[in-house]
Amino acid sequence: MQRYLIRRALQFVPVLLGIALVTFAIVRLAPGDPAALLVDTTVLSPEELARFRADLGLDGSLPAQFARIVRELATGQLHSFRTGQPVLAVVGERVPVTATLLVGALALAVALGVPLGVISAVRPYGRLDDGLTLLALGGVSLPSFWFALVLVYVFAGTLQLLPASGIGPATRLTYGVTDMAPHFVLPILVLGAAVVPSIMRYTRSAMLEALGQDYVRTARGKGLPEMRVIGRHALRNALLSVVTVLGVLAPILIGATAVIESVFAMPGVGRLAVEAALSRDYPTIMTLNFLTAALVLLSNVVVDVSYVILDPRIRLD
């Protein structure tokens, strides 16, 4: 296990450098000049404009700019074009909001998707299974932004049960966890609803395969209770597929937070990414993309380690 983790950590370096290079190429090839978005270039003399672009680090060649960004990114010295603040400090302020959304959505998706998938597999091809299958297909086809607007209209507008935006009461400067919790209910529901169908269908498929294996028939032949056969024997092996799909869905959820945080006006990392892209804030874009890539790579390692925990027969070395 230790050798495997060291090998994967060493593989991260070239992968992250490649991702940083691709990101830099995309943002630099995109139309728009950050300097023109920050100041009125028509009132500056050519010397003043050149000095301003030099302050932003846009005066050198592209290879030199990339090398500088990578160096400052590695040392945490990148500063935002828009605010002048260290990018890592700005991101650190927004991480708790996005992390709460992601953890809540994944927990909700697992809590609903796994039991529903097990129910479908235990009673396959019946009316309940057909109904859950139809529900899953509808959920996969449901646009998250539209679903978010519907929930806002119903629960925040019509029923006035939950707040529609922000992370706390707008009439107060400070608020606690209990004040913030209602603001996260609708965003977590929307994010969770986006992944519940996939988890449910993967669980059903894996459970159907596991229930047809010899070890399940042997357990039943020994007279074990059906719930124990399903939970301890079939489900434990089926969870390998669920863990795999969670590793795939995690990056998708990270991308979805950009839309959800914008709809609900939440100051998270996703909304920061949208703001940075619109303002051509290259340091912020590079940092967010780099951190997201590192998180995706780390999630893949966590999935591999989870295989060993769920099935001790698996070896990573």
pLDDT score, position 191 = 92
Q: Which domain holds residue 208?
A: 94-278
**3-class DSSP state of 174:** coil
Point out the residues of the chain with pLDDT beneath 70.
Answer: 316-317
pLDDT in the model for residue 260: 92
How many beta carbons lie within 10 A of that of residue 181, not counting itself?
12
141 and 61 within one domain? no
Using CA atoms of 221, 224, 225, 226 in order, give the dihedral in degrees to the nearest 10. -50
313 and 252 co-located in one domain: no
Kindly state whether residue 6 falls inside one of the protein's structural domains: yes
**Bridge partners, 132 (sequence order):** none
Does 238 map to a domain?
yes
Q: Are residues 181 and 224 in the same domain?
A: yes
Question: Which residues on neighbouring strands pair with residue 86, listed in sequence order?
Answer: 79
pLDDT score, position 98? 92
What does the DSSP 8-state code read for residue 216?
A: H
- CATH number at 114 reads 1.10.3720.10
311 & 261 share domain: no
User: CB neighbours of 193 closer than 8 A, spacing ≥ 6?
Assistant: 139, 142, 144, 147
Q: What is the reported pLDDT for 155?
A: 93
Round to whole Å and give the CA distance between 109 and 112. 5
Each residue's pLDDT tens digit, 80-101: 888 888 999 999 999 999 999 9
Q: Are residues 265 and 116 in the same domain?
A: yes
Question: What is the model's pLDDT at position 214?
Answer: 84
